[in-house]
Amino acid sequence: MGDSLTAGYGLAEGEGFVPQLQQWLAANGSDATVVNAGVSGDTTAGGLARLDWSLTPETDALIVTLGGNDLLRGLDPAVTRSNLEAILTKADARKLPVLLIGLPGPANFGPDWKAQFDAIYPELAAKHGTLLAPNFMAGLGGDDPAAARRLMQADGIHPNPEGVKRIVADLGPKVLELLARVQP
Active site residue ranges: 4, 155, 158
Could you tell me where the DSSP H helices lie in 29-160? 44-54, 68-72, 77-93, 111-128, 145-149
CA 120 from centroid of its chain's CA atoms:
13
How far apart are alpha carbons 149 and 67 in whole angstroms? 21
Residue among 115, 124, 116 nearest 83 (CA): 124
How big is the CA angle at 10 (ends 5 and 14), to the nearest 5 degrees?
Answer: 80
